[in-house]
Amino acid sequence: MSILQNKIDFAVILRVKNANPNGDPLDGNRPRTDYGGIGEMTDVCIKRKVRDRLLERWVTTGKKDDGNAIFVQSDDRNEDGEPSLRVRAESDKNGLGKDAFKNSANKIDTVKRACAKWFDVRAFGQVFAWKDKEAKKTKKVAADEIPTEDDELNKVSIPIRGPVTIQSAFSVEPVRDKITSNQITKSVSGEGDGSKRGSDTMGMKHRVDSGIYVFYGSMNPQLAERTGFSDADAEIIKQLLPKLFENDESSARPAGSMEILKVIWWKHNCKSGQYSSAKVHRTLRESIQSDGSFKLQELKGLEPEIIEGF
């Protein structure tokens, strides 16, 4: 597979209808908004959905060790049975083995192997940072004391910068006045032998009645050279973006309440790009309407591909 040869920018337009696209745990799980009332989905939330679609693809293809495994798996979609990221990384069966993380001396080899094994690591990057549990414990280092060589060898920090960046999604118009909150109750016997009815539990459920959101992303060939991210990998992400919300249903996001409308894909003719990502994204940002329609501004020599949502 050839390493990514051309810079790629992309944008995704999505519609929210009676759903909570991304709840804020610090605000009673209400849909996230900024101070101006603009709705938000964090980049972490979006990348979780991308990883889930990649994980489904990996399982469908037979879970072969072909470089398409996913490192950051969610608890409810754990396909290899590993209980934590560290155990997965150090697993002889599903990971790289403990020797790969003994210390930072073999960092280059560890990075290469990790990127070759896990799709999301070579795409988004990852930080492997922990202490060697089997190493001899050294004395506690005071704040003003210089760590010894043994102290440093007991710690492993291997950062990997990924070539694929995804921004948070923001609504085209404020959604604060379009958020509906309903009080709900749970009236079931969750404990005991069932002879006594449990007390009602009160709660709140929030939703965005309607809104158009947009998020942007980019793929950097220079960083792709370090992780081995290929043209084929970029094509996989391109194919799954229109299906981002398939198999993502929940009580907060019922089936059909989250919909990808369009994916806009700009493929430059060189590694450095014909234009900056800011200028490319602005051709959509300044033209998109509240109903999801848009009229892209033209950039000479850069023709966008417009893909319909699934």
* Domain chopping of the chain, boundaries: 1-42+168-310, 44-139+149-161
Q: Where are the alpha helices (DSSP H) in 77-124?
A: 85-90, 107-117, 119-124
Helices (H), 173-268: 221-227, 231-240
pTM over 0.75, yes/no: yes
Per-residue pLDDT of the chain (310 residues; tens, 9 = 90+): 699 999 999 999 999 999 999 999 999 999 999 999 999 999 999 999 999 999 999 998 877 778 899 999 988 889 989 999 999 999 999 999 988 887 666 789 999 999 999 999 999 999 998 776 555 555 555 555 555 544 544 577 899 999 999 999 999 999 999 999 999 887 776 666 666 666 677 888 999 999 999 999 999 999 999 999 999 999 999 999 999 999 999 999 999 999 999 999 999 999 999 999 999 999 999 899 999 999 999 999 999 999 999 9
End-to-end CA distance of the chain: 27
Q: Give me the count of residues in the chain.
A: 310
